[in-house]
Chains A and B, each alone.
Chain A
Amino acid sequence: MRRRRWPVADPNTTPYVGRAMKRIEDPRLIRGEGTYTDDLRLPGMVHAAILRSPHAHARIRKIDTTAAKAIPGVVAVLTGADVNASCGLVPCAAAIPDLKAPKHTVLAGDRVYFVGHAVAVAVASDPYIARDAIEAIDVDYDPLPVVTNAEDAVKIGSPLTHPDLGSNVAYTHNVSGGGNIDEAFRKADRIVKHRLYHQRLTPMPIEPRGVVASYHTGEGTLTLWTATQIPHLIRTLLPGMIGVPENKMRIVAPEVGGGFGAKLNVYPEEALIAHLAMRLHTPVKWIESRRDNAAATIHGRDQVGEYEVAVKNDGTILGLKSKTIADLGSYLQLLTPAVPTLTGLVLTGCYTIPAVKMEIVGVYTNKMATDAYRGAGRPEATYLIERLMDVVAQELKIDRLDLRLKHFPAPGDFPFPTSCGLVYDSGNYAAALTKAKQLANWDQLLKDRAAARAAGKLSGIGVSTYVEICAMGPSKAMPAGGWEWGCVRMEISAKVTVITGVSPHGQGQETTFAQIVADRVGVPIEDVVILHGDTSVAHYGRDTYGSRGTAVGGTAIVMCIDKMIAKAKTLAAHLFETTSDHVVFENGRFTSPGVTNRVITWPELAGEFYVAKNLPPGLEPGLEASSFFEPQNFTFPFGTHICAVDLDRDTGHVKITKYVAVDDCGPQINPLIVEGQVQGGIAHSIGQVLFEQTIYNEDGQLVTGEFMDYAIPRAHDIPDYILGSTVTPSPINPLGVKGVGEAGTIGATPAIANAVMDALEPLGITHMNLPMTPEKVWQAIKTKT
């Protein structure tokens, strides 16, 4: 039976860290008082609507905007010819050698390359009229040949997505590591081959994207509110597009209604709407429709690969070869070509695999760009290694858990260098597996499956033991700096203002950071305010993605606190008439045992710092510290997920009957929030394994452009979870935390898929592409019975 694992903590009990506290951000959100981008109303604000291509590939012969301009209330109707020269090129930050990249303008030039490609923009006094206006724009298209399948796109004679590039291949990326791969394959008793497909997915945050821009002509300053995960990266990259210098640009991420990677980007609309505000001298708002969100916000995954595992008959894995074709879509967004290469980084999963070789071919097609979607590269890698472990176990007829255990590094092997070139920070993979088995009541689960099978039912159990890469990351491994910045200021009133460079949008860092700060500074949690998401407040930052917020951003704040306390001790020592090394700081109180009985508290000390009448020589007034934290490595959370399913033979319907997840993200600041992240992540996997898929037809038409045709999980799709954790601190940061934002999605996809395949195994079915829809399951059963 299900029970609440985390009684909500009494807010007056300390320490705060480690306890399930209610979120500080919630009261405004549950009252409907949060301000999302679409909630902004500025004086004189006008509304933009974007006309998008209905063709996947076409030459634009002519655009006639006359009728649109004549509609009362229309302020402007502009095309690529009008704006592209002022908006620069949409940036890609990924550094891939020999990358062939098309020029990506904010509106189409003389061609469109995918359905949803922005062709023209209309600005009007209200959004209804703007919509009327784009409908009145007449575009004369000359359709061109289309390629929508990446495997077809690399064949000779395929239509070219960008004829000027001469090929659909954007890049070929080779990773090899560890020992000699050819030797590994020579020594193998057996080569196990498998083909795996990661379908295209649409992230579908419930809030679509949106941008509001306001330009102060006199000052030459631009303020841009945008539904983004990365206000700081936009502030770094947008100046190069629109010509407003970085220090005259303020980017604000207000409340952001979900990201999942879809808002980890610099989009054409951000430059376009900024440009319109400058050009029209009035604030401009653009809010994406769901249909446009499905068509013109990044997609995820879309990789297909052939994999070969070299094994000995006793199950020892000698090597792994893979060839992956990654469908990039028609353009490079911020990290498009980098995402498939992340797959290569954790290809070996949590196993000792002595030699690896991976080839990744990034391919252009007439579709929306793919980019980082929840997990970005790690779900792909985890799915393939975890499916392969099951396939190997099945072919060799050895127990799949034994096979996994045999290849786990031991706890003493950490830091553990992998053949993919990473060094895993810490781990105890067997402990997580053991705990998951306990929680799942593993032996009973096997008995239940046997009984179900004996009764003619299709029942399966899936396991996934995963490791992922979080806390992104060391700057030398990141495209544009992986550090994080923070600032902690004690105000004269002894209230604590914390400014972070991460940009949470649901992850709850206003709460978790306040827990950390309140404990370390020794103040009540209600005296702590966390500010974020506004580059005029948080001057520097690298924002929120890659499960980095707490591990990297939280650490920057811890560093600030340490500096602030050190400074406070200097003043306390001065007031105690002693030296800093004789000052003890504990629970918000400064004392100097053996020197004086006096106790100095924060209010007194803060007052002294700002009144500044009694500071020792050389000590600056004010009590504030800022820090940049540069992580020396990534962190590597891990865990075990176990899933049991029953299949309906007649309808192909998959029912999840049990779901157990044990995740080790290091020490948990707030277990309630960790639980929420894991549950949310698993839901994405339920969608991916069982029904979600972005479909373009052979003409390149997007046929999953609305929630009518693109299914995301609903409440009744969710099983009761049994969640657990182990705690293996990371040595990479002083909090020991690893990150948990993507763990659910990384661990769950293979667990669920393996469960379905396990259910089908008695029928001799060994392969099925994702998603494992009822029809596919039914077809598979039908062909075998």
Chain B
Amino acid sequence: MPMPFHIHVTVNKADQHHDVEPRLLLVHYLRDVCGLTGTHVGCETSLCGACTVLVDGKAVKSCTMFAVQADGSSVTTIEGLATNGQLHAVQQGFWECHGLQCGFCTPGMIMTSVALLARNAAPSREQIAEGLRGNLCRCTGYSHIIDAVNHAAKAVARG
């Protein structure tokens, strides 16, 4: 049995210290060790994007990263997005524009969109679609999701 590995991760601004098995995936660490089940698992080949979180501000697929690799990093999950109970602009956009149906892909969609808007504050519809290439949705047909990200971009621009 491999030696457990001690990690220190800042998750949604809270310090977390745990001994973990090397094989524990970051997504399972977040869900099962930290109890943050908003990050979902939809595939095992790094394609669906439901598990997307921000690691040191960058969108990554937490199913394709071992928890040990996040040692020393700062992770933001969907649960850490709202501040003081106030929805993030992207969350608000998804709500306003019916950007979700079953909601399963939604946390990953939102996290990818947050990172997308951080890189490009005023994306075109095509750029939004391209930016969401790594996130699959089977319910919405994406059109309302693109509306949602657009809505968020405009809301942020308005301040």
**Residues of A bordering B, CB below 8 Å:** 2, 4, 8, 22-23, 25-27, 29-36, 38-39, 128, 203-208, 255-260, 287, 289-291, 505-508, 672-673, 675-676, 679-684, 706-708, 712-716, 718, 720-721, 744
Contacts and interface: CB of A to CB of B under 8 A. Distances in A.
Contact of B146 (A36, A291, A715): A715
B142 A715 contact: yes
Interface in B113-143: 125-126, 128-130, 132-133, 135-143
A720 B126 CA distance: 10
A2 B142 CA distance: 14
B36 A32 contact: yes
B38 A207 contact: no
Chain A CB within 10 A, most for which of B31, B78, B137, B141: B141
Contacts of A715: 128-130, 132-133, 135, 137, 142, 145-146
A707 B95 contact: no
Contacts of A507: 101
B39 interface: yes
B110 A30 contact: yes
A32 B98 contact: no
Contacts of B21: 128
B61 to A, nearest CB: 12
Interface in B96-113: 96-98, 100-107, 110
B135 to A, nearest CB: 8
A643 to B, nearest CB: 14
Interface residues of B, number: 58
A587 to B, nearest CB: 28
8 contacts: A26-B95, A29-B106, A30-B78, A32-B37, A257-B105, A675-B98, A715-B128, A715-B142
B104 A206 contact: yes
B62 interface: no
B147 interface: yes
B34 interface: no
A36 B104 contact: yes
Interface stretch (B3-11, B40-48, B65-73): B40-48
Contacts of A716: 126, 129-130, 133
Given A36-B104, A673-B98, A716-B133, A205 B138 contact: yes
Nearest to A30: B91
Given A26-B100, A30-B106, A716-B129, A681 B37 contact: no
A712 B100 CA distance: 17
Given A30-B110, A715-B128, A721-B143, A672 B98 contact: yes
A513 B87 CA distance: 25
B94 interface: yes
Interface string B12-37: 00000000010110000001000011
A257 B147 contact: no
B133 A714 contact: yes
| Secondary structure class of chain A's binding surface, majority of residues | loop
A154 to B, nearest CB: 33
B144 A32 contact: no
B87 to A, nearest CB: 7
Given A206-B138, A744-B141, A29 B103 contact: yes
Given A32-B36, A32-B37, A207-B104, A708 B96 contact: no
A128 B94 CA distance: 34
Contacts of B142: 679, 683, 713-715, 718
A416 B129 CA distance: 43
B42 A207 contact: yes
A30 B98 CA distance: 11
Contacts of A259: 102
B39 to A, nearest CB: 7
Nearest to B126: A716
Given A26-B100, A258-B102, A258-B139, A290 B133 contact: no
Contact of B100 (A29, A33, A207, A684): A29
A741 to B, nearest CB: 10
B95 to A, nearest CB: 5
Interface string B50-72: 10000000000000000000000
A287 B125 CA distance: 35
A128 B23 contact: yes
Contacts of A26: 94-95, 100, 103
B79 A32 contact: yes
A680 B139 contact: yes
Given A30-B100, A680-B138, A716-B126, 8 more contacts: A31-B78, A32-B77, A36-B37, A205-B102, A258-B101, A260-B138, A505-B102, A718-B146
